[in-house]
Structure 1
Amino acid sequence: MKINDRILYVHGLSSSGASSTARNLQSLLPECKVISPDLPVEPQDALDMLRILCKDESPRLIIGTSMGGMFAQQLRGYNKILVNPAFHVSEFMRTQIGVHEFLNLRRNGETHYEITSLLCDKYQMIEKNQFDDITAFDIENTYALFGTKDTLVHGYDEYIAHYQNAAWFEGEHRLNIEIIKKILLPLIKRIIE
C-alpha cells in the first residue's frame, strides 16, 4: 500500500459516512485515506454523487456494504469489495414504509428519513439495470463477501451469475471489528498490494 491510497467506503441503509465500519477501516489502515460520504436518500442522487467522487478521488478500492454494495457494484472500472450486497434493497424498504432514524450522525445534522412507496419505486428503477455494462475488468476485480448467518439479504446467486470472486465468512449482515480484522483487512491488502 502507498501512503494516502484512497479507499471509498459506501454505507448501507439507515447509516452514514460516520459508521463504525468506516471508522474501523480508517483506524486499521492509517496509511490510507478512507473516504466515507453520507449518501443522499434519493438513489439517483447517491449514484451520481458516488460517480463524481470516484472521478475526483480515483480510489484504489471501493468497499460497499449492504445497500452500499448495490451502489458500489454499479461503479465500473474500479477494484471493489461488496459485503452482503443488497442488490434489491427496495424489496426490504417496501416492508419498512414510514419514518426511520439514522443509526449514525450525518454531516448535515439530519436524524430521520422517510421511506415512501415512491422512494421504493426509485430504488427499484436503479436496481433494474444494475448489472448492465459489466466489463471484463469488473468481473476480474470485483470481490464479494457473504455472511453465513445473514438473515437480511441473500445476494450470492445473483452475484455469482455475473461475477466470479466470492467467499463466505462466519458472520451476520453487519460487520464487526473481528470480521473486519480477520476477513476484510487481508482481502483489502491483497487487492491493493
Structure 2
Amino acid sequence: MKNKILYIHGLSSSGSSSTARNLQALLPDYSVLSPDLPVAPQEALDMLRHLCELEQPQLIIGTSMGGMFAQQLRGYKKILVNPAFHVSEFMRTQIGVHEFLNPRRNSETHYEITSDLCDAYQKVEKGQFSDITEFDKENTYALFGTKDTLVHGYDEFMLYYKKASWFEGEHRLNLEVMRSSVIPLVEEIMAKDFR
C-alpha cells in the first residue's frame, strides 16, 4: 500500500491543479490525495479533518490558502508553501464573481466572494494558531518564495514554528521549484521515518 500525501490547493484552484499533478508525477511512490475544497471555509476545514481521519496521510502539503488550512490540521507532518494565513484580507479586495483556475469535479466554473464569505474566512483564521502541540512544532515546515508579492507569512510562521526556508520563486509553484525545493523537503521529511 502506497504512502499518502494530502495536497490542499489555494484560492480559485481545485484538486486537479498543476501542482497536484506535478506532485503525483514527481512522487510516483506516493498516492497524492487532492480534493476540491468547498468554498465555505468551515465546511472545507471539516471536510479536510474528516479526510485526514479516514485516509491518515503521512504528509500534508498546503499552498497559499491551502497552507492556512493545513496548518490547522493537528497531529500530521506538514509543509506549508507560501501560506496565506489571512486570505480573508486579500479576498476583501476581490469582492465579486471569479472563475476557478482549474476544472472542478462538480463542474462548477465560478464562485462568488462576498463580505459574508470574507467574514467566515476571518472567523476560521482567528483561532488558527491555537492548540499547537509539540508534535506540530517539530513536524511543521514552511517554504517561502523570495519573489512572492501576494502573501508574507514568514514572520507569523516563525512566532509558532522554527522550520522555515526560502526558495527562489514566486507565489505560485512551478515545476522547477517543485523539483528543487518541495520534493527534496518531502524526501527529507519522509526519510526520518526510516532512520
Q: TM-score range by the shorter chain?
A: over 0.9
- Provide the aligned C-alpha RMSD in A: 0.5
Amino acid at match of 1:65: T
TM-score, scaled relative to structure 2: 0.97
Match of residue 185 from structure 2: 187
Amino acid at match of 1:86: A
For each residue in 1:74-108, what CA deviation from the matched residue of structure 2 results, as whole angstroms up to 9, or x when unmatched?
A: 00000000000000000000000000000000000
Alignment of 1:7-46 (within 5 A): 7-46=5-44
Q: Distance in 2 between matches of 1:84 and 1:42?
A: 21
Q: Distance in 2 between matches of 1:185 and 1:170?
A: 15
Match of residue 143 from structure 2: 145
Amino acid at match of 1:101: E
Q: Distance in 2 between matches of 1:113 and 1:61?
A: 29
Q: Distance in 2 between matches of 1:30 and 1:79?
A: 19
Amino acid at match of 2:4: R
The alpha carbon displacement at 1:31 in A equals 1.1
Match of residue 136 from structure 1: 134
**Structure 2, gaps ≥5 residues long:** none
What SS is found at the alignment partner of 1:161?
helix
Q: Does 1:178 align with 2:168?
A: no
Q: Which runs of 4+ in 1 moved over 4 A?
A: none
What SS is found at the alignment partner of 1:96?
coil
TM-score, scaled relative to structure 1: 0.98
For each residue in 1:11-39, what CA deviation from the matched residue of structure 2 results, as whole angstroms up to 9, or x when unmatched?
A: 00000000000000001111100000000
Amino acid at match of 2:153: G
Q: Distance in 1 between matches of 2:58 and 2:170?
A: 27
For each residue in 1:110-165, what CA deviation from the matched residue of structure 2 results, as whole angstroms up to 9, or x when unmatched?
A: 00000000000000000000000000000000000000000000000000000000
Equivalent residue for 1:110, pick from 108, 111, 115: 108
Equivalent residue for 1:96, pick from 94, 101, 104: 94
Question: How many residues in Structure 1 have an aligned counterpart in Structure 2?
Answer: 191
Q: Does 1:70 align with 2:68?
A: yes
Amino acid at match of 2:92: R
What SS is found at the alignment partner of 1:182?
helix
